[in-house]
């Protein structure tokens, strides 16, 4: 899509390959998602649940584009550890502070890979008597889903490569890249 220029000087780029989504494309799509969520939740006070750590940048930008009263909370879940592939075992590392009973919840994810973490998370939140649980994800890796999850809001669909940037990491690094790029490893 674009050359390496948007990421130069922002983080070590020795392990970063082709840019798949530019900073400008992200900004444009986040605005579109914010408008869509604003329309869909008109008259409601949704609770946005950010899945840490990867979704923090996306969620911060997204909620600023939603023109509604809203609240935020965060969960930390892990199925990757320090690996580049999901283990399939989901652990809650930080739970919500807010009560979900009767709330309209928008789960904000950075990336959907196999869908196993999302499936677990959705069941967990629905079991807390939420009025509704929808998902907004920045990225979906094409062809990797092992479960069929309904995702209301999708930023971009990407090839099944491991990617970094805009909150997504490899071993804790590269989150500060303003774009989404292939991670080519060391």
Residue 117 has a pLDDT of: 83
Contact, 129 vs 105, CB < 8 A? no
- Establish if 17 belongs to a structural domain: no
73 annotated active-site: no
Per-residue pLDDT, 149: 66
The length of the chain, given as a count of residues? 186
Residue 172 lies in a domain: no
Q: pLDDT at position 14, please? A: 66
Tens digit of pLDDT for each residue in 117-146?
A: 888 899 999 999 999 999 999 999 886 554
| 138-179 tens-digit pLDDT | 999 886 554 556 899 999 999 888 899 999 988 888 999 999
In a domain, 10, yes or no: no
Catalytic residue among 73, 113, 150, 169: 113
The answer to whether residue 151 sits within a structural domain is yes
DSSP three-state, residue 148: coil
pLDDT of residue 1: 37
Decide if 137 is inside a domain: yes
- Could you tell me the CATH number of the domain that includes residue 91? 3.40.50.2020
Residue 157 has a pLDDT of 93
Q: Is 184 contained in some domain?
A: no
Q: What is the pLDDT of residue 90?
A: 79
Residues of the domain holding 74: 23-159
Work out the pLDDT band at 81, boundaries 50, 70, 90: low
Share of residues in the chain with pLDDT > 70 (%): 83
Asked whether residue 166 is assigned to any structural domain, the reply reads: no
Q: Which structure tokens are listed for 2?
A: 């674009």
- Determine, yes or no, domain membership for 124: yes
| Domain total in the chain | 1
Q: What is the pLDDT of residue 150?
A: 84
| pTM for the predicted model, two decimal places | 0.85
Spatial CA neighbour of 161 closest among 87, 84, 65, 94: 84
């Amino acid at each position: 899509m674009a050359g390496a220029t948007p990421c130069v000087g922002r983080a070590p780029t020795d392990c970063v390959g082709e840019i798949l989504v530019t900073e400008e494309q992200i900004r444009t799509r986040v605005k579109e998602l914010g408008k869509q969520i604003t329309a869909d939740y008109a008259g409601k006070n949704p609770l946005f649940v950010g899945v840490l750590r990867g979704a923090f940048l996306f969620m911060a930008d997204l909620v600023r584009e939603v023109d509604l009263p809203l609240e935020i909370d965060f969960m930390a879940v892990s199925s990757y550890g320090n690996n580049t592939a999901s283990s399939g075992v989901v652990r809650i590392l930080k739970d919500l502070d807010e009560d979900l009973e009767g709330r309209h919840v928008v789960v904000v994810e950075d990336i959907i890979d196999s869908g196993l973490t999302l499936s677990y998370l959705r069941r967990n939140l629905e079991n807390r008597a939420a009025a509704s649980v929808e998902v907004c994800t920045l990225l979906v890796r094409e062809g990797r889903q092992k479960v069929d999850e309904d995702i209301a809001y999708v930023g971009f669909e990407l090839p099944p490569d491991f990617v970094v940037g805009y909150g997504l990491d490899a071993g804790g690094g590269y989150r500060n890249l303003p774009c989404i790029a292939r991670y080519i490893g060391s």
